[in-house]
Amino acid sequence: ADDDGDVEDDSVEVSSFTFKGNGVEELTMRLKEESNVEDVIVCTR
């Protein structure tokens, strides 16, 4: 990783989405849907 934390690795897929919800529970559900991963933990700090 460089000084900004960026990693240039072609084997890593990067994706993003826009979240316009209202809470951690809603964000957690959206992350599960977008990533197809069931064990999602969202820290509110």
Residue-wise pLDDT for 12-36, tens only, equals: 777 888 889 899 999 999 999 988 9
pLDDT of residue 7 exceeding 80, the answer is no
The separation between the first and the last C-alpha atoms of the chain, rounded to the nearest angstrom, is: 24
Percent pLDDT > 70 in the chain is 98
pLDDT of residue 45 exceeding 90, the answer is no
pLDDT of residue 10 exceeding 80, the answer is no
Instruction: Name the nearest CA neighbour of 43 among 26, 18, 24, 30.
Output: 24
pLDDT at site 30 = 93
